[in-house]
């Protein structure tokens, strides 16, 4: 009798515990401190030359694995002498470059103390004195080029000689072999030198920054006086660096200047398969005309083989791919959607490889043995991504990915295998290995641990929807409803916005840790939602480029329309709609709480642009032209000029060391608010950059934002 009763009590207790576990509430500590919701990722995979193996970083080692079995077959290098978090093989895989003591400069750029490990002699040697940037093997592996103190150097392993290629490098004046701030940020590369295929020449950039205005910001330390960081930053309408490309021959020790003219920007340099011909992209300042120039490496003479123009602007990618005969693959929006094209070596179009009212969103490469291209597209839906193969002639297209959501591929050398990363809006990343035909070989990581942990919390699914605005524009959105949602009740809505050109927040893919912040807010009784306005990506050229010369106008109209749509729903309290955004999203939330004051009850703006005249030349002028040409476009949609309309709680947050969207934006917004006699909330994070992170910072920021939402929405 007692035993039966005890078993019954235990069973009831277990059942109650199970029910309780299914209804756990998420805390900010879970999200930002404990790592409860961090998924597992596949890091540092590099395909080896044979295409059958890959390498990956161990704790202090480089391990070699079989693609097919996933089993480790060799420890290529292991050490306790140095600590490294990256590595680079020479072309023959006999030498390894190891960066240590790495320092971050800006978003992409770093400097490190490099070591070279020789697998044949098993010797580890320092590359050069001090710290270097972008150390890169020559194709033969006999040399390494690197940048130090804004000058380009070449180290010859066979002779031991170190040659200084340039001598005029100087901070805030001349840069050789590396990019300036604005190229790094907006053209997304920082190493600005490139070995020729035969290893006898290096094409490199030279930036003359002397005429570019300097920006300064204070860095607050423990001393009595702050340090001042000064760097060249061309704001829109101001002077850019004078950029040129030069070619250094390692045999003759001579440098050739390229004969290029009539350009403002050089967004890419790429060698063809001919060691005497390098392709240099040139663009005008408006970035609506692009030319591909073939430059003779011996003489510096150039010829234009391809020209593309657009009524608005042209986005730059790394999709240019030269075949063995120097015919090439190119992606373009010329037919209204981003597609793949094939040209002969003289720039004459052979075929349009992909066609349709959908965008190619990534180009993975071409297997010349089978004339098969691999790419990712939004063919099935703007919010989803699938991986495809297609023949060079545009035939025999095949969908390789099977799961609905977002798929991305990482191919091995030779295109024998690829690692597919899949996720959807409510499912963390799933990594699997496939043959090139799409057949799955094995699962690499499935994140079952995170999925199991998620089952212990009271989560609501992220749901997708569409609605049509009063202007007849169909927009995509998602929402997360409160736990135990009841249609007979009314709920406040918290909107998240980004909205910038070509971006998307409405995607059927894993949303990272913010997914759990939104779930936490839903547990507290909020509907959390996001809508992609006009100007965002994966819906063709016209949908994206309608915002040209009027950034903020159509985006704000659409976000206000989204708020009206939510207010029309029977389960929404239309008087309680708030909005939050970061960077471009902070610009948008600031416009919404001012120009859309009658629809929004509160707003949070983190690191916002407040007037585009304070932002950099390349990004801003791509979409707006210069302030001198388009003053109304700048002023009409600056939240600074609409602060008098503010009549709701507004939280403004910025990092004082933001080298990207300068703290100046927030200071100007503060002044406008003060002069308009508008009360607002402000928080500044000392010495934090655009990401506002480090130590306890993110936890503190999200605590502040959460409390602001709870108190004001």
Query: What is the C-alpha to C-alpha distance for residues 389 and 397, in angstroms, rounded to an integer?
Result: 6
Query: What is the C-alpha to C-alpha distance for residues 183 and 501, in angstroms, rounded to an integer?
Result: 18
Q: Which residues pair with 228 in a beta bridge?
A: 218
CB within 8 Å of 674: residues ≥ 6 apart: none
Selected catalytic residue, list 302, 401, 423, 583: 583
Instruction: Look up 654 and say whether it is catalytic.
Output: no
DSSP states along 636-662 = HT-GGGGGGG--S-EEEEEETT-SSS-
- Give, in order, the Cα–Cα distances in Å from 379 to each of 277, 406, 437: 36, 12, 19
Ranges of beta strands (E only) in 177-264 are 193-195, 201-208, 214-219, 227-232, 242-249, 255-257
Buried b or exposed e, range 640-665, using 16+ CB within 10 angstroms: bbbbebbebbbbbbbbbbbbbbbbbb
Selected catalytic residue, list 190, 310, 315, 658: 658
Q: What is the DSSP letter of 3?
A: H
DSSP states along 495-546 = EEE---TT--S--SS--THHHHHHHHHHHTT-EEEEEE-TT-SSS-HHHHHT
| Contact of 339 with 331, CB cutoff 8 Å | yes
Positive or negative, the Cα torsion across 547, 550, 553, 559?
positive
Selected catalytic residue, list 422, 642, 662, 690: 690
| Contact of 557 with 378, CB cutoff 8 Å | no
CB within 8 Å of 698: residues ≥ 6 apart: 32, 692
Positive or negative, the Cα torsion across 450, 451, 455, 457?
positive
What three-state secondary structure class fits 558? helix
Query: What is the C-alpha to C-alpha distance for residues 154 and 606, in angstroms, rounded to an integer?
Result: 43
Angle value at C-alpha 36, between 454 and 693, nearest 5 degrees: 130
DSSP states along 579-617 = EEEETHHHHHHHHHHHHTTTT-SEEEEES--S-GGGSBH
Say how many CA atoms lie within 13 Å of 614 toward its Cβ. 23
Neighbours of 711 (CB within 10 A): 10
Angle value at C-alpha 534, between 482 and 565, nearest 5 degrees: 40
Quote the distance between the C-alpha of residue 642 and its chain's center.
31
- Pick from 613, 592, 589, 593: nearest CA to 662: 613
Instruction: Look up 53 and say whether it is catalytic.
Output: no
Query: What is the C-alpha to C-alpha distance for residues 613 and 238, in angstroms, rounded to an integer?
Result: 10
Read off the tokens for 68: 């097919």
- Pick from 36, 37, 69, 75: nearest CA to 52: 69
| Contact of 359 with 334, CB cutoff 8 Å | no
Instruction: Look up 422 and say whether it is catalytic.
Output: no
DSSP states along 381-427 = -TT-BEEEEEETTS---EE---SSSEEEEEEPGGGSEEEEEEEETTE
Residues involved in catalysis = 583, 658, 690
């Amino acid at each position: 009798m007692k035993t039966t009763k005890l078993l019954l009590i235990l069973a009831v207790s277990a059942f109650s515990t199970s029910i309780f576990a299914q209804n756990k509430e998420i805390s900010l500590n879970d999200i930002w401190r404990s790592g409860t919701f961090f998924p597992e990722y596949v890091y540092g995979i590099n395909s080896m030359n044979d295409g059958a193996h890959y390498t990956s970083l161990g704790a202090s080692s480089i391990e070699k694995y079989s693609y097919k079995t996933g089993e480790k077959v060799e420890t290529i290098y292991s050490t306790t002498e140095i600590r490294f978090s990256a590595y680079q093989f020479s072309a023959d895989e006999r030498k390894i470059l190891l960066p240590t003591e790495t320092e971050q400069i800006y978003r992409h750029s770093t400097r490190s103390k490099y070591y070279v490990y020789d697998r044949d002699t098993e010797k580890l040697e320092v590359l050069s004195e001090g710290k270097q940037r972008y150390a890169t093997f020559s194709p033969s592996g006999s040399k390494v080029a690197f940048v130090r103190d804004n000058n380009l150097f070449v180290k010859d392993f066979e002779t031991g000689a170190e040659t200084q290629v340039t001598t005029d490098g100087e901070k805030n004046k001349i840069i050789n072999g590396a990019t300036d701030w604005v190229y790094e940020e907006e053209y997304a590369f920082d190493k600005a030198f490139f070995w020729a295929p035969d290893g006898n020449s290096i094409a490199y950039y030279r930036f003359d920054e002397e005429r570019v205005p300097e920006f300064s910001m204070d860095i607050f330390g423990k001393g009595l006086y702050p340090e001042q960081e000064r760097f060249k930053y061309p704001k829109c309408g101001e002077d850019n660096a004078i950029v040129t490309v030069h070619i250094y021959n390692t045999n003759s020790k001579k440098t050739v200047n390229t004969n290029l003219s009539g350009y403002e920007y050089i967004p890419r340099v790429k060698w063809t398969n001919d060691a005497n011909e390098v392709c240099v992209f040139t663009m005008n300042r408006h970035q609506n005309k692009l030319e591909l120039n073939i430059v003779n490496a011996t003489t510096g003479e150039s010829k234009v083989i391809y020209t593309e123009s657009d009524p608005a602007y042209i986005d730059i990618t790394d999709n240019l791919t030269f075949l063995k005969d120097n015919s090439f693959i190119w992606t373009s929006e010329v037919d209204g959607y981003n597609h793949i094209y094939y040209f002969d070596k003289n720039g004459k179009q052979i075929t349009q490889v992909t066609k349709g009212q959908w965008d190619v969103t990534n180009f993975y490469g071409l297997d010349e043995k089978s004339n098969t291209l691999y790419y990712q597209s939004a063919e099935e839906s703007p919010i989803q991504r699938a991986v495809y193969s297609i023949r060079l002639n545009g035939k025999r297209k095949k969908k390789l990915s099977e799961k609905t959501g977002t798929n991305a591929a990482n191919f091995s050398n030779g295109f024998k295998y690829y690692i597919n990363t899949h996720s959807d809006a409510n499912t963390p990343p799933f990594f699997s290995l496939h043959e090139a035909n799409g057949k799955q070989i094995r699962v690499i990581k499935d994140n079952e641990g995170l999925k199991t942990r998620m089952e212990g919390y009271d989560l609501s699914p992220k749901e997708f929807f569409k609605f049509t605005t009063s202007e007849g524009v169909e927009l995509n959105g998602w929402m997360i409803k409160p736990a135990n949602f009841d249609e007979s009740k009314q709920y406040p809505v918290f909107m998240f916005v980004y909205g910038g050109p070509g971006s998307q927040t409405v995607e059927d893919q894993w949303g990272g840790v913010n997914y759990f912040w939104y779930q936490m807010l839903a547990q507290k009784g909020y509907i959390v939602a996001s809508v992609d306005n006009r100007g965002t990506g994966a819906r063709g050229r016209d949908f994206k480029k309608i915002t040209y010369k009027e950034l903020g106008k159509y985006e704000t109209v659409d976000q206000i329309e989204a708020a009206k749509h939510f207010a029309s729903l029977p389960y929404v309290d239309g008087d309680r709609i708030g909005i939050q955004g970061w960077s471009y999203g902070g610009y948008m939330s600031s416009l919404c709480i001012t120009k859309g004051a009658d629809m929004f009850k509160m707003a949070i703006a983190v690191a916002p642009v407040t007037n585009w005249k304070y932002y950099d030349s390349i990004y801003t002028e791509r979409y707006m032209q210069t302030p001198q040409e388009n003053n109304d476009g700048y002023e009409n949609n600056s939240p600074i000029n609409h602060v008098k309309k503010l009549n709701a709680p507004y939280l403004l947050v910025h990092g004082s060391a933001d080298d990207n969207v300068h703290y100046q934006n927030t200071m100007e917004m503060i002044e406008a608010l003060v002069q308009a006699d508008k009360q607002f909330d402000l928080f500044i994070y000392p010495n934090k950059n655009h990401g506002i992170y480090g130590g306890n910072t993110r936890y503190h920021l999200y605590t502040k934002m959460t409390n602001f939402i709870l108190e004001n929405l």
